[in-house]
DNA sequence: CATGCTAGTTGACCCAAATCAATTTTGCAA
DNA sequence: TTGCAAAATTGATTTGGGTCAACTAGCATG
């Protein structure tokens, strides 16, 4: 998605520049070597190729080394909801543990390098390395938290808030991986962005264009530059509408966000 | 929410009528007794009371014995998105494993009986009982799958489809617990339903009223009866609009579901 | 360097559902 | 039993963003 393409994947986990992302704290050198033994293989997926598909039997989880991937769920009639965009250091596929069948699809957005890890081997290893077990719980727990944020966005935010939230979110994910947090390349299309955020791609274009007019960002094609992160954050939180600073007497507050959907009961 | 109120909670997991729901297959009698030792206490929450609140330190997970609970996430300005309604046999709180802080709130919808289980004890026990570890992964994996379905609903379904999906979903959850799948009591308000489904409570009322007119359901207050599950299922899938069976020549298809948001790229 | 082809953009129009408003019904506490 | 607040319903009106349509910009390919 961003940063240098690392297409020459190293052979060992211990040589891998991102293993501290997919397997943070608490795993010793010896354990890393164990892990290295079970990683099935490093594979390259090209744009549009599937890491896994809906309904296929669950056998492996995938650690992203470089590139980016979208995951999405499907309806019978062909409608699609993208549930996430994933970049280097993220682990995919654990959501199939329960049913033993993938409940969504994962597709590369660009050339993407991954480690495929057979789940049953990973589970065995987990029994010897408690911190690895814990790590799996953490990864899933984090995914749940992300998904909850997305539900909040889909259920309660307007178009401006959605886009602003999206940009801010990308920015901080890049920052975490020490890429630029103010200038980056989108690997997904406008249409994918719209699908993910629950809006039409035309609306994505229009809102981005307005953000540019207002000096919040600049865009050319898929390159974004965030020019006013502070204001963008405010918009994401719903503070972009400039609440009338001194509400005239007799004038109903007419808050930009209705009291509906706020906590009451 | 439904079924007999089981307010006299038994003292032991092995006596508990629902332990096979919160801890399915693969746990032996001896392990159950171990588990029983670490369950901190059985508690009763009354309507409106919190099991846990946003930002509070994570210490326990909660197994629901009876009653029902809503979980929801919050925005700074007070907006709320309900992320789930939970009934007997479900396990809450595992989504705080990663940050060690609850990322959402859980609040009883009615008088609700729960087992509180300290997470660190549960984790220790998990190292002795691998199937318990696996069970935790399963529970979280299932929650992710549920959440993905909800994202699909929030992002891509219209009001009719949302309500139909909701009713069908409740029905099959009750069936799994061998309650009636065609007649049940809602423990949540219209407003909560609307919030959960991403629509105004007025719309919930209107759509329910129309479903009743059309003979799909009957409702009085919070008691629902599903009268035509088959058709309801069709509506949930987007098939309620009766695609014109023989499209006249020259008449644009005007499909009830646009080709947008379907899989293309 | 035409020729597509895909992705992105912009304008005009429309509609599903939100909002606003007015009642009605219900559950409970005094 | 009465009184009230919360919950639910129903109607009128508005609107944010979807849909349709036309067009442009990049970019690959023969």
CATH number at residue B172: 1.10.10.10
Same domain, A73 and A129: yes
- Our measurement of CA A223 to C1' C1, in angstroms, reads 28
- Our measurement of CA A51 to C1' C6, in angstroms, reads 24
Burial pattern A38-56, b for ≥16 Cβ within 10 A else e, equals ebeeeeebeeeeebbeeee
pLDDT tens, position by position, B26-60: 666 666 666 666 676 778 999 999 999 999 999 99
What confidence score (pLDDT) does residue A7 get? Answer: 39
In a domain, B264, yes or no: no
pLDDT band, residue A18 (cuts 50/70/90): low
Number of A/B CB contacts below 8 angstroms equals 185
What confidence score (pLDDT) does residue B133 get? Answer: 85
Same domain, A119 and A206: no
Same domain, A131 and A182: no
Pick out the nucleotide with least CA–C1' distance to A221. C8
In a domain, A256, yes or no: no
Pick out the nucleotide with least CA–C1' distance to B205. D9
Question: Which residue in A has a C-alpha nearest to residue B78's C-alpha?
Answer: A262
The residue among A55, A72, A31 whose CA lies nearest residue A191 is: A72
Mean pLDDT of A6-32: 60
- Our measurement of CA B224 to C1' D27, in angstroms, reads 58
Number of domains in chain A: 2
pLDDT tens, position by position, B56-105: 999 999 988 889 999 999 999 999 999 999 998 888 999 999 999 999 99
CATH code of the domain containing A13: 2.60.120.10
Taking the CA atoms of residue A100, residue A103, residue A109 and residue A112 in that order, the dihedral angle to the nearest 10 degrees is -10
What confidence score (pLDDT) does residue B29 get? Answer: 65
Contact A91, A141 (CB under 8 A): no
Q: Which is more confident, B65 or A74?
A: A74
A61: containing domain: 6-153
Helix extents (H) in chain A: 19-22, 29-38, 119-128, 130-156, 159-176, 190-197, 201-213, 229-236
| pLDDT at position A167 over 50 | yes
Contact flag B261-A79 (C-beta cutoff 8 Å): yes
pLDDT tens, position by position, A229-261: 999 999 999 887 644 443 333 333 334 466 677
Closest Cα of chain B to A162: distance in Å?
Answer: 12
Residues on chain B touching A188 (C-beta within 8 angstroms): none
Tokens read off for A210: 């307005």
| Last residue within a domain, chosen from B135, B153, B171 | B153
Residues in chain B: 265
Mean pLDDT of A50-67: 93
Same domain, A120 and A177: no
In a domain, A182, yes or no: yes
For residue A64, what are the CA distances in angstroms to A11, A18, A26, A223?
15, 9, 20, 22
What confidence score (pLDDT) does residue B244 get? Answer: 41
In a domain, B92, yes or no: yes
What's the mean pLDDT when you consider all of chain A?
84
Same domain, B47 and B112: yes
Q: Which residue among A76, A127, A141 places its CB closest to the CB of B97?
A: A141
As ranges, strand D nucleotides with an atom below 7 A of a protein CB are 6-12, 16-21, 26-27
Mean pLDDT of B219-238: 95
Contact flag A80-B262 (C-beta cutoff 8 Å): yes
Closest Cα of chain B to A96: distance in Å?
Answer: 6
β-pair partners for A69: A86, A108
pLDDT tens, position by position, B103-144: 999 999 999 989 888 999 888 888 888 888 888 898 899 999
As ranges, strand C nucleotides with an atom below 7 A of a protein CB are 6-12, 16-21, 26-27
Same domain, B149 and B172: no
Residues in chain A: 265
Q: If you measure CA to C1', which residue is closest to nucleotide C26?
A: B221
pLDDT tens, position by position, A183-224: 999 999 999 999 999 999 999 999 999 999 999 999 999 999
Place of tokens 């979280």: B140
What's the mean pLDDT when you consider all of chain B?
84
Same domain, A143 and A170: no
Question: Which residue in A has a C-alpha nearest to residue B94's C-alpha?
Answer: A141
Mean pLDDT of A125-150: 90
Max distance between CA atoms of chain B, in angstroms, equals 73
Going by C-beta distance under 8 Å and a sequence separation of 6 or more, which residues neighbour residue A220? none
- Our measurement of CA B56 to C1' C26, in angstroms, reads 36
pLDDT band, residue A265 (cuts 50/70/90): low
| Last residue within a domain, chosen from B121, B153, B185 | B153
Q: If you measure CA to C1', which residue is closest to nucleotide D18?
A: A200
Pick out the nucleotide with least CA–C1' distance to A205. C9
Residues on chain B touching A132 (C-beta within 8 angstroms): none
| Last residue within a domain, chosen from A153, A179, A198 | A153
First to last CA, chain B: 43
Residues on chain B touching A137 (C-beta within 8 angstroms): 94, 97-98, 136-137, 140
Same domain, B181 and B134: no
Q: Which of A42-46, A165-169, A171-175, B14-18 has the lowest mean pLDDT?
A: B14-18
| pLDDT at position A144 over 50 | yes
In a domain, A74, yes or no: yes
In a domain, A258, yes or no: no
Contact flag B83-A150 (C-beta cutoff 8 Å): no
Q: Which residue among B77, B138, B264 places its CB closest to the CB of A238?
A: B77
Q: If you measure CA to C1', which residue is closest to nucleotide D26?
A: A221
Characterize the bridge pairing of strands A183-185 and B60-66. Answer: unpaired
Same domain, A132 and A16: yes
User: What kind and span of H or E run contains B32?
Assistant: helix B29-38
pLDDT tens, position by position, B164-212: 999 999 999 999 887 899 999 999 999 999 999 999 999 999 999 999 9
- Our measurement of CA A213 to C1' C16, in angstroms, reads 30
- Our measurement of CA A151 to C1' C12, in angstroms, reads 32
Same domain, A141 and A13: yes
Same domain, B147 and B20: yes
Contact flag A189-B99 (C-beta cutoff 8 Å): no
Same domain, B23 and B106: yes
């Amino acid at each position: 998605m961003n940063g240098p393409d690392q297409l020459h994947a190293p052979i060992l986990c211990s040589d891998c520049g991102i293993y501290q992302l997919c397997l943070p704290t608490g795993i010793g050198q010896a354990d890393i070597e164990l892990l290295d033994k079970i990683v099935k293989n490093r594979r390259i997926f090209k744009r549009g190729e599937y890491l896994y598909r809906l309904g296929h039997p669950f056998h492996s989880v995938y650690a992203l080394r470089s590139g980016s991937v979208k995951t999405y769920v499907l309806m019978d009639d062909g409608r699609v909801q993208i549930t996430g965009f994933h970049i280097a250091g993220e682990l995919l596929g654990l959501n199939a543990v329960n049913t033993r069948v993938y409940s969504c699809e994962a597709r590369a957005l660009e050339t993407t390098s991954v480690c495929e890890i057979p789940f049953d081997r990973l589970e065995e290893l987990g029994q010897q390395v408690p911190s690895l077990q814990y790590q799996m719980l953490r990864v899933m727990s984090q995914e749940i938290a992300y998904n909850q944020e997305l539900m909040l966005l889909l259920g309660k935010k307007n178009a401006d808030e959605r886009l602003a939230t999206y940009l801010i979110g990308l920015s901080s994910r890049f920052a975490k991986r020490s890429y630029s947090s103010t200038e980056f390349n989108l690997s997904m299309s406008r249409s994918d962005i719209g699908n993910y955020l629950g809006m039409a791609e035309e609306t994505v274009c229009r809102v981005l264009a307005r953000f540019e007019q207002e000096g919040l960002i600049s865009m050319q094609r898929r390159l974004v530059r965030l020019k006013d992160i502070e204001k963008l954050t405010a918009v994401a939180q719903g503070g972009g509408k400039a609440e009338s600073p001194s509400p005239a007497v007799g004038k109903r507050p007419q808050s930009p966000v209705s009291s509906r959907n706020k906590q009451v009961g």
